[in-house]
């Protein structure tokens, strides 16, 4: 086998390697899903994540991915939130809420200063985050 083929990370089909690690059929499908979300948001600015998911029949997880990738803007949808990856607080941008971001920033600063206890604490959290991500990827297949 050469390095030019891969299994699509979405449907598992063998295909030519692409930067997004998705086969052309999935890329097209995701584009179409994204357009459906954008269109619904435009017509229903008061929608929530749940409502959007039900109306478009696109899984919540997929919609959150679109938002994080910047493909869906939440500028005009004050009711559309998704959970902070760390504490679950509703947020509208990035992957963490303000307080978690501040906490992370503090921990990073502390680790630069060489505070061993905090470094260890952070490594543990990173490990947990990876486990969650692995699980999410497993579920997507």
- The residues binding Zn ion (CB under 5 A) are 8, 10-11, 23, 26, 84, 86-87, 89, 97, 100
Burial of 91 (0-12, 13-18, 19+ CB in 10 A): buried
The dihedrals phi and psi of 71, each to the nearest 5 degrees, come to -85, -20
Judged by beta carbon, residue 73 or residue 102, the one nearer Zn ion is 102
* Least distance (Å) between residue 77 CB and Zn ion: 20
Contact status, residue 20 vs residue 30, Cβ threshold 8 Å: no
Residue 82, beta-bridge partner list: 91
Judged by beta carbon, residue 46 or residue 59, the one nearer Zn ion is 59
* Least distance (Å) between residue 57 CB and Zn ion: 18
* Least distance (Å) between residue 133 CB and Zn ion: 16
Judged by beta carbon, residue 25 or residue 42, the one nearer Zn ion is 25
């Amino acid at each position: 086998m050469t390095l030019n083929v891969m299994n699509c990370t979405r449907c598992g089909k063998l295909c030519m390697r692409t930067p997004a690690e998705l086969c052309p059929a999935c890329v097209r499908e995701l584009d179409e899903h994204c357009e459906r979300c954008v269109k619904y948001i435009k017509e229903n600015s008061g929608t929530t994540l749940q409502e959007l998911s039900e109306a478009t029949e696109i899984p919540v997880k997929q919609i959150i991915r679109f938002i994080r990738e910047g493909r869906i803007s939440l500028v005009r949808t004050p009711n559309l939130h998704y959970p902070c990856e760390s504490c679950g607080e509703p947020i509208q941008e990035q992957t963490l809420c303000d307080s978690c971001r501040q906490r992370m920033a503090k921990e990073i600063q502390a680790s630069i200063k060489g505070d061993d206890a905090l470094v260890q604490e952070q490594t543990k959290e990173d490990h947990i985050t990876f486990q969650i991500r692995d699980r999410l990827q497993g579920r997507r297949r």
